[in-house]
Homo-oligomer: A and B are copies of this chain.
Amino acid sequence: MTENADVIFVGNKPPISYVLAIITSLSSGNLKEITLKARGQAITAAVDVAEITRNRFVKDLKVSKIAIGTAEMPPREGESKSRMVSTMEITLSKEKTKTE
């Protein structure tokens, strides 16, 4: 159960899994805003997820904020230096229904 889940971490699953997670979260209550977080190669997937959700499923969803940044990752096994990896956050907001 992911009640009030307002943050979804996008990784290596097929985009549609995250799309479904967004739709589920949005339809389960008062949630109006969801943030997708991704790093490294998953950044492209996060953009795909946001675009698929907006274009095909939740037409009144808007991209309200996008931020990029850098995170330090611990070194891989056998390596001594930590790695820097790009990060991205996409916040999707549901517009208020006009006549309610």
Residues of chain A having any CB pair with chain B under 8 Å: 40-41, 43-44, 47-48, 50-51, 55, 63, 66-70, 84, 86, 88, 90
Contacts and interface: CB of A to CB of B under 8 A. Distances in A.
Contacts of A88: 47
Number of copies: 2
A69 B51 contact: yes
22 contacts: A41-B41, A41-B44, A43-B43, A43-B44, A43-B47, A44-B44, A44-B86, A47-B68, A47-B86, A48-B86, A50-B68, A51-B68, A51-B69, A51-B70, A51-B84, A51-B86, A55-B70, A63-B68, A66-B66, A66-B67, A66-B68, A68-B90
A9 to B, nearest CB: 16
